[in-house]
A and B are shown apart, each in its own frame.
Chain A
Amino acid sequence: MSLQIENLKVYYRTLAGDVQALDGVTFNIADGEIMGLAGESGCGKSTLGNSLIYLAGRMKYVEGRVLLDGKELPVWNIREMNHHRFKDLSIIPQYAMSAMNPTRKIGKMTAELLESRGIDSHAVMPEFKRRLDLVGLSNDVLGMYPIELSGGMKQRTVMVISTLLDPSLLIADEITSALDVSTQKAVAEMLVEFRQRGFVKSMIVITHDLSILYQVADTILIMYAGKLAEKAAASTIINSPRHPYTRLLISSLPEVGVTYAGKRLTGIAGTPPALLGPPEGCRFRERCPFAFEKCLEEPPFIEVEPEHFVACWKEV
């Protein structure tokens, strides 16, 4: 499968105006690619993930196209998108711990969900049980209520349910954020295994944790203040990033096995711009050590090397 996003803009409606959370992003994901989507809080990564699946509440579609396997996805139309949800694209939500109906047994809930989508639940149940086994959950889970499971177990159950119909695209929204480090590793590895076994074709893994992405993702897309900053293979991003923001990000990560004595851990000075009436030009220029006059004009997101996209005048 392949995903093509063209100039997607999704804003949030507020009384004070539109918050330009996702302001014109364009990129592609190839078949079988696990793309990590990283950035700080408020950069628009969750908006991107959620707008693909369900444009809820305050989100407002402004413009842009989404093409899955060459077919246009009507993301602006909640009703029509229903054909595609769960079957063509699916999501493991950020709130996976509380994503299941607390008063319904898990097996029953899944069966009802499948039936409501017009799928014969009996045909799918054996596969469901097999996959639960795969992630280390016993079949007894089907007869339990969510309250009887631990956080990690619920996470895994939701992962299985979300991928039950073998979607082409899976969006994993901050699925490791609430977990401890060893569970994080297990969950990340599970994602890769899902792809290996063909449960999922491609993935967007949304997180702010670059270290996980390094383990799991093929490519990483860095976002900043609603715009794309850089996209490249994971190793390239970590080892030889080109966008100033990415470089500062990577260098602000402490190294394992190195002791710092008498040195302070530096972050990136400043804060991201407000997205209600964002500044002109490159959104990073206020904090960028390399900014010059050209930066008042918005830099295009272009391919500077094969499969390496950067949005920075310095790198053009």
Chain B
Amino acid sequence: MTFRGHIHNGQVVLDEPVPLAEGVEVRVSPLRGSDGAAAAPVDGLQQTGQLSVERNFHHLVDEWKAATALTSSGTELLLHPAYQRIIGMGKDAVRLIVAEMRREPDHWFWALKAITGEDPVAAGDRGKIDRMTASWLKWAEQRGY
């Protein structure tokens, strides 16, 4: 949700009334510099958003690993709320999962399968974590991740 406005007497004045409650936190980003030239706020926003996605991802990975370190249950691993939230990040998470998988192989197959709808793991390799990892990393390489 984006609203347009202008700086007036040092304060942001929105061009139209907006349906935001009192106290809601907002982000303000200039569209043009003081010289009238288009700035790079969109890139900036994207960059900020990407950093936020990465931070959130790594926070969730840490939470998941700490909470499930002692469990053998595949169900607990894959249904843990942090793991499910990573799946909920959708396509944004694929590149991050692949990088994490390269850094430290772990049980990322289900998340990748859930997000991408693909499954490069041969039926006979299920449960063999090193082979499952190799299959997904090959898949990632073929798709430029």
The answer to whether A and B belong to the same complex is: no
| Chain B positions near chain A (C-beta within 8 angstroms) | none
Which A residues fall within an 8 A CB radius of B?
Answer: none
